[in-house]
Structure 1
Amino acid sequence: MPTILVADDDANIRELVCLFLRNDGWMAVEAADGREALEAYDSTPIDLVVLDIMMPVLDGWELCRELRKRSADLPLLMLTARGETWEKVKGFELGTDDYLTKPFDPLELTVRVRSLLKRSRTNAGRSVQLGGVTLDRSTYKVTVAGGPSLDLPLKEFELLYKLAETPGQVYTREQLIESIWGLDYAGDNRTVDVHIKRLRERFADTADFAIETVRGLGYRLEAAK
């Protein structure tokens, strides 16, 4: 049974949201501010988060950032009275998956939650095959035919998976930074180069694929014919 974390400083909103979520058959965990939400996430397996923007201690923006540091795939639904376009854009840039403004229809909320959970389960079960190399998104493991599975650091796996999803497509460093590290990443674009170098070293013995440098543009993965 999926467990959903509801973070909102309005007790009445939390009660209403949790009531409808539980009536739909889900578990619901409440948090009155962003800090409580993080503590709940760190102590309880959470499948989706419904969060408000305007909360004390730690607001929804910061909560979204912190949750994305912990998980790239956790579904996030912003539920807030702040409905300006720039706020929606900021929310999506920070990593939220959906946005619903107050006042809201509880039935619409449950439909959106159901959709996000379904999408999350679909993505979690996806895998990419490159000859004898399999990238399993559900376990973040790489299996090489005839050998043991490899546990890659998260960012290395995500980078390799991104390139492997569309063999032959060229990605700039900026596109890869935005996709893997997020728009608010403050580091240098050369971080991509370092991770590519490590991936090349790890898979130097495989003939199933190669990560090529496209001079002046970025990188692409070429799968063996």
Structure 2
Amino acid sequence: MTEDMPHILVVDDDTRLRELLRKYLAGNGFLVATAQDAADARAKLGGLAFDLIVLDIMMPGESGLELTESLRRDDDNIPILLLTARGEPDDRIAGLEAGADDYLAKPFQPRELLLRINSILRRQAAKPPDPVPAQPVRLGPLLYLPDRDELRNGEEVIRLTTAEASLLRVLAGQPGVTFTREELTERSKVAGNARTIDVQVTRLRRKIEPDPREPRYLHTVRGEGYVLRPDG
């Protein structure tokens, strides 16, 4: 084992599947730890650093979906691959909206799981540093200070999650430029995919827009993506 081997946390209440995944991933170049439920996973996450979580949704107690939402609220952007026996589109959307990076329905081939894990890790490694806007950006009464990574309303600092701050930094770095969802996923620290970008845009609008339902600054360009048009 070497220190640069990716560290995976497998969380599933099915003992047999959990052990099978541990052995399979360990045999394919990963350091693997396991957890039997969300509480066990939290204990592991509190003491060790992981590169990715393979997380079952349907668990007793706190579900995998609830754990995902909680981690994202806490600004934890560790990549998450959800596993579930439910593969309906609405279930997949719910997982992505919660902040998951990918979603794999049971039953699945171990090889497919391996391919998806490697794909997520490659995307994370390829993300460039966030661009930093050269000048403060005015959004009505709000001022975004890129050198401090702060959004202020007078003396009040408006708290941004890591994902919201990263998204604003990318958009404010090139005001007036339309970014596709894929570009925002690649350039920001938003964990997930195009659907996750939509969710983070909605959350960011709640903090920068006078009326999030009628955006003044962060606009949707139909069929293309999003653009920030600040004052001035």
* Shared fold, TM over 0.5: yes
The 1-side partners of 2:177 and 2:122 are apart by 28
Aligned-partner Cα distance in 1 for 2:94–2:111: 25
Q: Corresponding residue for 1:191?
A: 207
Q: Call closer, same or farther: CA 1:98–1:7 in 2, change over 3 Å.
A: same
Question: TM-score when scaled to structure 2?
Answer: 0.66
Alignment partners' CA distance in 2, 1:143 and 1:85 = 38
| TM-score, structure 1 as length reference | 0.67
Q: Which residue of 2 aligns with 1:97?
A: 101
The structure, 1 or 2, with the larger RCO (C-alpha pairs under 8 Å, 6+ apart) is 2
String of CA shifts for 1:144-169, please: whole Å, max 9, x gaps.
Answer: 5xxxxx46565363353242355204
1:157 alignment partner AA: A
Residue equivalent to 1:217: 215
Structure 1 gap ranges (5+): 134-141, 145-149, 195-215
Match for 1:74 among 75, 78, 81?
A: 78
Deviates more, 1:63-72 or 1:4-13: 63-72
Q: CA deviation at 1:73?
A: 3.0
* Pair 1:132–1:35, CA change in 2 (3 A): same
Displaced runs of 4+ in structure 1, greater than 6 A?
none
Distance 1:50 1:86 in 2: 20
1:9 and 2:13 correspond: yes
Offset at 1:50? Answer: 0.6
The structural deviation recorded for 1:25 is 1.4
Partner of residue 35, structure 2? 31
Q: Give the match for residue 58 of structure 2.
A: 54
Q: Report sequence identity in percent.
A: 37
- The aligned residue for residue 157 of structure 1 is 165
Return closer, same or farther for 1:54/1:193 CA change in 2, 3 Å cut-off: same
Distance 1:70 1:23, change over 3 A: farther
1:126 aligns with 2:129: yes
CA distance in 2, matches of 1:120, 1:218: 32
Post-superposition Cα deviations, 1:80-136, rounded to whole Å, max 9, x if no partner, equal 21112211111111111111111111111111101101111222x423154489xxx
Q: 2:200 aligns with which of 154, 163, 179?
A: 179
Alpha-carbon spacing, 1:217–1:68, altered in 2? closer, same or farther (3 Å): closer
Root-mean-square deviation (CA, aligned residues, Å) is 3.4
Distance 1:23 1:158 in 2: 35
Equivalences, count: 182
Residue 130 of structure 2 aligns to which amino acid in structure 1? S
Three-state SS of the structure 2 residue aligned to 1:5 is strand
> Could you tell me whether the CA contact under 8 Å between 1:6 and 1:28 is conserved in 2?
yes
Of residues 153, 169, 176, the one that matches 1:168 is 176
Residue type of the alignment partner of 1:179: Q
Change over 3 Å in CA distance of 1:167–1:38 after alignment to 2? same
